[in-house]
Structures are given as structure tokens and as C-alpha cells.
Amino acid sequence: MANPTALCETSLGTFKVELFLDKMPITAANWIKLARAGFYDGLHFHRVINNFMIQFGCPFSRDPASSRAGTGDGPDGTIQDEFPPELRLSNEPGTLSMANTGAPNSGSCQFFINTVHNGYLDWWDRRTPSKHPVFGRITEGMDVIKKIETTPTSRGDRPITPVKMIKVTVLD
């Protein structure tokens, strides 16, 4: 069976993702469950860094001006880290990766989309203690990701003009 895909409609356009349910079942299933429940609908990209990544999924980002954006977990709390030793999915451009606090098993609902190769964030890379499992990839709409990535930001890497996720629809 093919992996599930999702359509992400934002205020700057639409992109499509493939979720690696076959390789990263805990992380991908968590994302799919949240998306199907409408958790991501109406949230804003709260951290955008050109030539690095765009981050999304904090429940406090419903208000794009919230000082708490980037600090929230999903309704079910955190999930177990997923670092399968036999699988090395790198933080390549266009991949979805689980955000976390840096502590073990601290991922929840927030994720980022890599806009460049961020190999130092791979779980097996020893250059930094940051470890972020890749659980999906952009299959259509990288131009939209680039639009979001290059939107002007203020201090704190927050878009000056909020970028809203209108709706996430899991297609299969």
C-alpha cells in the first residue's frame, strides 16, 4: 500500500505531503491523527528562518501574536522518539521533521519543513545533541514552501504578515 498523503492549504498557497507511515509509524500516525481531528486547521507558521526551515503546529499559534507560540503540545501530550537504527532518513530539503525541546521523547504536534539540507539535525549525527526524526516529504508545492520561507519576519523569526494553515486534509 502507498503511504498516506495530505493536502495543506495555506494563506500563501497549497502544498501536498507524503507521510512515511511505513517507515515512521509512531510519528506519522501522530501527525495524521492530529490532522484528521482538525488540530492544525487555523494555526499559523510561528517560526520561519530563510535558508533553514519553517516551523508549524503549536496550538498557541492560533493567535499569530501569542508570545507562547512554539511552546505548546498536542492534546495527547508527547510521543516516543522514533529513531530506527536500520533507517536513516536525513533532514533534506522538503522533508517534514518532528520538532522537540531537545529532551528525549518531547515531540508532540510541532514539526518543521527543511528548506535546505540540515544533516546536523539527523538523529545519528553527533555534531549537535539535536535529534529530529524525518517522517514525511513535500511531493507538490515546494514553491509555496519557498514563499513561506522567504516571507519577511520580525525578531523571534515570526512572520510579520501571519501565514495561516487554512485546512489540512488527509487524502488516503
From the candidates 44, 132, 137, 158, give the one annotated as an active-site residue. Answer: 132
β-bridge pairing 13-19 and 5-10: antiparallel
Q: Look up cell 501571519; give the residue.
A: 162
Residue 100 known to be catalytic: yes
Known catalytic residue at 118: no
DSSP 127: S
The catalytically annotated residue of 44, 46, 47, 137 is 47
* Residue 132 annotated in active site: yes
38-69 burial, b if ≥16 CB within 10 A, otherwise e? Answer: ebbeebbbbbbeeebbbbbbbbbbeebebeeb
The catalytic residue among 20, 45, 55, 114 is: 55
Catalytic (active site) residue 110: no
Is 112 in the active site? Answer: yes
The C-alpha cell at 91 is: 533532514
The one catalytic residue in 12, 20, 121, 137 is 121
Check if the beta carbon of residue 79 is closer than 8 Å to that of residue 67: no
55 catalytic residue (yes or no): yes
Which is the catalytic residue, given 112, 118, 137, 158? 112
46 an active-site residue?
A: no
3, 36, 52, 83: the catalytic one is 52
Catalytic residue among 45, 46, 56, 100: 100
Task: Kindly tell me the sign of the dihedral angle through the C-alpha atoms of 167, 136, 92, 78.
Answer: positive
Active-site residues: which are they? 47, 52, 55, 100, 112, 121, 132
